Amino acid sequence: MTLLLRARRVLSEQGWLEDHQLRIEGETLVAIEPVPAGVTARDADLLCPAYIDIHVHGGNGVDVMDDAPGVLDKLALHKAREGVGGWLPTTVTAPQAEIDNALRRIAQRVRNGGPGATVLGSYLEGPYFTPQNKGAHPPELFQALRICELDRLIDVSQNTLRVVALAPEKPAALDAIKHLKSRNIRVMLGHSAATYEQTLSAFEAGADGLVHCFNGMTGLHHRHPGIAGAGLTDKRAWLELIADGHHVHPAVMSLGCTCAGPRIILITDAMRAAGMPDGQYDICGYAVTMQNGVVRTSGGGLAGSTLALDAAVRNLVNTVGIAPEDAIQMASLHPAKMLGLENTLGSLAPGKRANIIALNNRLQLQNTWVSGRAVPL
């Protein structure tokens, strides 16, 4: 069955195309072509690649760590309603049995599929961190890096584990990075007090980038650039960015985009309060409070975000002055490249999966299609 979607502008790999249409057969985009002469109806102002959120803890009142039926389906629908076509459910530092069970649930969802945004695998955030920049993670549950344990987690995930986050200054970190890369798993560095030199050594070993850059790490200093400085200046590093204006000041977002625009990956780091009213919630086993959309621990620290990925794109455009096409790629093509999925996802091109969003001229979401099927918004 063929689906035609027409727009005033289509964002292709070559840039914006005026008055073009997408021809979709089944789950695949098969052609991008000019709208035939005389056809005046348009389905959207803008048709763009669906977003990919690689770092998601929760939303709509549920958490990836919740051991309850339907949690990942509910989250997948929630993500699709913010323009996300694919995502990585992300674990937190917790008792080992809880992490194992979460990885098993994610693996089952990857195998079986379901409504909403596609689950692309899992992202292990913790327990391989150091206490100095722990964020909301409970340091008493941090663990040493052991190759046999990493292999066990990969087995538990049934080879659906896609990303492991760790602190590069931990003993055996470089060996762990090399081993994970040999297993085709991406490694992100964070919740760390690593020096500039330690971080460069981790990139040399194969690490892929930084977890929510600037957050959960020592701040940039002109004599001690640290982990953030290494990420900003090393062209091998992908940089996750929470562009909500709370986690990172707009001026620092601008700095990051100026230094590393082609390497920025917009993420939400969203937790269960995303899309919910202000009130009391929890993350990593701690009680947290959301006020005016900002979630904090009892000590005042930030605890995840309530950001939607489509809002992150708008924030970069409206607050930082990033071109719309560049901000959209930071939420689509860049994460696809980091995961090694750019041949099938992340942009609109013939032969790729038909994960598409319709936006108005203010970059507000109008419709989402995942594998060629419209998701009810």
Give catalytic residue positions: 269
Looking at the DSSP bridge assignments, the partners of residue 7 are: 20, 44
The residue whose two tokens read 């502008």 is 9
**Both structure tokens of 61:** 């009142």
DSSP 279-339: EEEEETTEEEEEETTEEEETTS-B-SB---HHHHHHHIIIII---HHHHHHHTTHHHHHHH
**Both structure tokens of 103:** 């990885």
The residue whose two tokens read 């625009």 is 261
For residue 13, which of 363, 345, 375 has the smallest C-alpha distance?
345
Query: Would you say 83 and 50 are in contact if contact means Cβ atoms under 8 Å apart?
Result: yes
Return d(Cα 303, Cα 18) in angstroms, integer.
Answer: 42
Compute the residue count for the chain. Answer: 377
**Both structure tokens of 108:** 């089952």
Return d(Cα 146, Cα 148) in angstroms, integer.
Answer: 6
**Both structure tokens of 340:** 């090694």
DSSP-derived letter for residue 1 is -
Query: Would you say 243 and 327 are in contact if contact means Cβ atoms under 8 Å apart?
Result: no
Cα 127–chain centre separation: 19
Give the full edge-to-edge strand order of the sheet including 161-166.
122-125, 161-166, 186-189, 209-210, 238-242, 264-267
